[in-house]
Amino acid sequence: KFHHKKFVWHKSNDYVIAFTLSANRKEENGVKHLKVVRLKRERFCDPSIHAGKDSYCMQEIEQFACRGDSGSGVMQKASPRKDYVMGVLSRGLDCDVIQQAMKRHLKRADDQFRGTVVTDTRNYLDWICLHSGVCEKHINRWRMKKHRIVMIY
C-alpha cells in the first residue's frame, strides 16, 4: 500500500512531479508514505553530468530526489483529470551531502543543487507497450515484434 499526504500540482507547466518514498524511509503500520518532489526541467545539463541523448536534467525545487529513488515516475499534468509519465528518474543526488549543505546555507539551498537525470519515456513507448500492455490508441501491440534492446552507459 502506498499513501501520500499531499498532492499539489504547480500552476505552471514548467514544473513536474516525481513520487519517491519519504526521506526517512520508515513504514507506519505497513504503509509506505510517498513524497511528492517538484522538479523543473533544465534547458541544458551541466557539462559535468553525463546524461544520455534520451535523457534530460531537472532542478529540484525545495525538496530533492535522492540516489535511491531511481525508477520513480516523473509525471506532468495533461488536463484536470489526466496526468502522464514523461520520464523515469534515472539518477538522483546524494541527499546526505544536500542535507549538510542546507544546514550551512538554508535560504538558497534549492538554487545550488542540480543534477537529477530523467530518462525520457517517449523514446520507449513501443517497448513499454509491448512489455506492459499500456499502449497508445494507435498502436496494435499484437503486431509488434520483440527486439533485443542493448543500452550502454
- Give pTM, 2 decimals: 0.60
Using a 10 angstrom Cβ sphere, with 0-12 exposed, 13-18 middle and 19 or more buried, the burial of residue 23 is middle
pLDDT at 78 over 70: yes
Torsions phi, psi for 19 (to 5 deg): -100, 130
132 in helix, strand or coil?
helix
Q: Give mean pLDDT, residues 87-94.
A: 78
**pLDDT higher for 148 or 40?**
40
Q: Could you tell me the pLDDT band of residue 146, with boundaries at 50, 70 and 90?
A: low
Contacts of 31 (CB under 8 A, 6+ apart): 1, 2, 3
List, in order of start, the domains of the chain with CATH numbers: 2-123 (2.40.10)
**pLDDT higher for 16 or 4?**
16
Question: Which sign does the torsion angle of CA 41, 42, 45, 48 carry?
Answer: negative
pLDDT at 55 over 80: yes
pLDDT at 7 over 50: no
Q: Are 64 and 98 a contacting pair, CB within 8 Å?
A: yes
Q: Give mean pLDDT, residues 28-40.
A: 60
Torsions phi, psi for 105 (to 5 deg): -130, 70
Predicted local distance difference test score (pLDDT) of residue 128: 82
β-pair type (82-91, 73-79) = antiparallel
Q: Give mean pLDDT, residues 103-121.
A: 67
DSSP assignment of 77-111, as one string? Answer: EEETTEEEEEEEEEE-B-HHHHHHHHHHS-TTHHH
15 in helix, strand or coil?
strand
